[in-house]
Amino acid sequence: MVASPRRPLDWITAWEAALPVYGAAAILHAALPPFALPLWIIYYLYGRKVLDGARAAEDPWRGRGSPRPYLGAGAIALAVQLGGVLAFAAGGPASSAVTGTIAGVGALTLPALFLARSAPPGVRDRRGWLRSGVLLVFVASLAAPGVLLGGLPIEGPGATLVYLGQIGLAAASSGAFFGAKRLGASTPAALARKVPRG
């Protein structure tokens, strides 16, 4: 018996699948960035599926530009951050650490921006929740530059609080996106598709 070809994920299903991966990746990234790489790869694969699924929708972005640039820029920022961290750990110049730290802001924030801008019908109407998800992870991403610039403690109880706060903000960002999904009007995938014109 020949197996039927697997149907591609529609826009809504792909976005909902990317959501928990984003949450896990953001939290782990706030704790230990290099170990979050496998999760980010999965997230970006789902991001591509979101864009592919949205092609079947009628004006999916409501006249706004496609969120595709956020996905690509986020991948670049992640590569720069991890490259800088690894280069510095291998004995590279201090500038590698600075580059990686600054790129880390984009590596955390841009995936959240993509998630907010690519939200499907119903969910995207919960703008306050989506904006909170982006803002919270942006604030979390500022912890490392704050330590680097000397504005935040680098050791002692204060450093522990900063570290835990960064993880907590990343978790809260994920919670905000889940809140938008839960509170958003449930819109069937069929309603997000183009209507054939006769």
Tens digits of residue pLDDT in 37-84: 999 999 999 999 999 988 887 778 877 789 999 999 999 999 999 998
**Beta-carbon-side half-sphere exposure of residue 185 (alpha carbons within 13 Å):** 8
Q: What is the DSSP letter of 123?
A: G
Q: How far apart are CA 123 and CA 187, in angstroms?
A: 9
Residue 116 has pLDDT above 90, yes or no: yes
- pLDDT, residue 188, reads 52
> Which residues fall within 8 angstroms of residue 84, CB to CB, at 6 or more apart?
96, 97, 98, 99, 100, 101, 103
Residue 2 has pLDDT above 70, yes or no: no
Q: Could you give the 3-state DSSP secondary structure of residue 10?
A: coil
* pTM: predicted TM-score of the whole model, two decimal places: 0.86
- pLDDT, residue 190, reads 44
Choose from 52-61, 71-80, 116-125, 148-157 the range with maximum mean pLDDT. Answer: 71-80
Q: What is the amino acid identity at position 167? A: I
Other C-beta atoms closer than 10 Å to the C-beta of 132 total 19
User: Closest Cα to residue 98, out of 137, 147, 135, 139?
Assistant: 147
Q: How far apart are CA 11 and CA 57, in angstroms?
A: 8
| Cβ atoms 79, 33 nearer than 8 A | no
Mean pLDDT of the chain: 86
Mean pLDDT of 163-189: 86
- pLDDT, residue 88, reads 77
Residue that wins the pLDDT comparison between 193 and 39: 39
- pLDDT, residue 198, reads 43
Please give the share of the chain, as a percent, with pLDDT higher than 90. 52
Mean pLDDT of 13-28: 95
- At 92, the pLDDT band (50, 70, 90 cuts) reads confident
Q: Could you give the 3-state DSSP secondary structure of residue 153?
A: coil
- Domain residue extents for the chain: 11-53+67-185
Q: How far apart are CA 153 and CA 78, in angstroms?
A: 25
